[in-house]
């Protein structure tokens, strides 16, 4: 019987938390956007730019998750947009532990 922490890698947990924060920022942007449409420098722009910068941070974080042995990317595994996967505890190519 595997231990309860063996099902999810720490990188996967971090990405889930980061995406949850991004969703909260998008919701805040949507809520304040409807009430403050006239003012260009209102609170709407703050949540918009926070969400954009947080999304860029998530993309860079996901790009940096690599196998220490074969250096293959674990989230973005290829050039295609369909080659995006959740990171696992082991590398998908060489089966080396990442954590």
Chain segment 46-85, per-residue pLDDT in tens: 778 888 899 999 989 988 888 888 888 888 877 777 778 8
DSSP class of 45: H
Annotated domain spans of the chain: 4-64
Predicted confidence at residue 17, as pLDDT, reads 92
Higher pLDDT, 30 or 41: 30
> Is residue 96 very low, low, confident or very high in pLDDT (cuts 50, 70, 90)?
confident
Q: Which residues contact 36 (CB under 8 A, 6 or more apart)?
A: 42, 43, 44
CB 61 within 8 A of CB 15: yes
Predicted confidence at residue 37, as pLDDT, reads 53
């Amino acid at each position: 019987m595997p231990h309860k922490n063996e099902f999810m890698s720490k990188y996967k947990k971090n990405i889930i938390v980061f995406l949850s924060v991004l969703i909260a920022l998008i919701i805040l942007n949507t809520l304040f956007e409807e009430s403050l449409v006239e003012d260009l420098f209102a609170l709407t722009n703050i949540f918009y730019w926070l969400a954009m910068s947080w999304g860029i941070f998530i993309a860079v974080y996901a790009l940096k998750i690599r196998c220490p042995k074969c250096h293959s990317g674990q989230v973005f595994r290829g050039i295609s947009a369909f080659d995006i996967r959740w990171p696992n505890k082991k590398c998908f190519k060489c089966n080396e532990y990442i954590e």
